[in-house]
Amino acid sequence: MPSIIGSLFNFFKKTETISTEGTENTIEMKYLIVALGNIGPKYALTRHNIGFMAADRIATLEGLSFEMEKLAYHTIWKTKGRVIHIIKPTTYMNLSGKAVQYWMNQLKINKENVLVLVDDLALPVAKLRLKPKGSSAGHNGLKDIERIFQNTEYARLKIGIGDNYPKGSQVDYVLGEFSEDELVQMMLKIEKVKEIILAFCTIGINKTMNSCNE
């Protein structure tokens, strides 16, 4: 059976057009998906890098390739009249806002069309939560994006990594690798992450939240 998100997507999808002497020209809407993480093999399979992992998996599913560009690895996903730019900042987590600012300016994309993929300790492993705004909850990548925006009003898709660690071991936990079982759970959820991104870019955040939040 088709997913709820897929059904909503098909029902609400809109193609923006302009008429020119009886013809219609599609206006491609641009979006920026910011996958948070740290570069380098040392961090590749760590919990803090689930944003990168999700972006890489979506790229594989869609036959896309990331290219190293200024401040980020970058790829373009064209679908349903949308041009979706996906970046993986190369600034390391604590300076993620620098890459966001550069790419928003470079591509002339408004904040309303930006979606951040981020790990979240407060959610169980592989649970997803789309939010239109909110605090950083101590996440250094989100803190730096807040510094650039000067507020907390930007969309983020939180991907749960759980909080199964002893007191005082948070840093070791987020920079530790997923267990095999956790990794399987995560990979099974990436298809839904892809659906949520598509819905965000087509029907908007409010309708997407109503259908996707678990």
| Separation of alpha carbons 132 and 127, rounded Å | 17
The Cα 68–Cα 88 span in angstroms is 9
Mark whether 74 is an active-site residue.
no
Check if the beta carbon of residue 128 is closer than 8 Å to that of residue 190: no
Look-up of token digits 């599913």: 61
CA distance 155 to 143: 14
Residue from 48, 74, 85, 139 carrying the catalytic annotation? 48
Distance of CA 109 to the CA centre of its chain: 15
Nearest to 109 by CA among 158, 74, 68, 157: 74
Among all residues, which ones are annotated catalytic?
48
